[in-house]
Amino acid sequence: MTFPKDLVPGCLILILCAALYYVTTTFDSDPLGAAQGMPATHMPRLVLSVIAALAVLMIAQGLRSGEKTSSDMPPWKMWATAGLLGAAAFATPFIGVPLTFFLVCGSLPLLWGARDFKLVALFAVAVPVAIYIVFQILLGLRLPLGPLAFLS
pLDDT digits (tens, 9 = 90+) for 105-151: 999 999 988 899 999 999 999 999 999 898 888 888 778 888 878 87
Whole-number percent of the chain with pLDDT over 70: 85
Query: What's the confidence (pLDDT) of residue 63?
Result: 83
Residue-number span of the structural domain to which 18 is assigned: 1-71
CA 37 – CA 152 distance, rounded (Å): 15
Cβ distance 112 to 77 under 8 Å?
Answer: yes
Residue 128 Cα distances to 38, 43, 134, angstroms:
20, 18, 10
| Same domain flag for 77 and 151 | yes
* Spatial CB neighbours of 4, under 8 Å, sequence gap ≥ 6: 62, 63, 66, 67, 68, 69
Mean pLDDT of 29-43: 66
The count of domains in the chain is: 2
| Same domain flag for 87 and 152 | yes
Residue 103 has pLDDT above 60, yes or no: yes
Mean pLDDT of the chain: 84
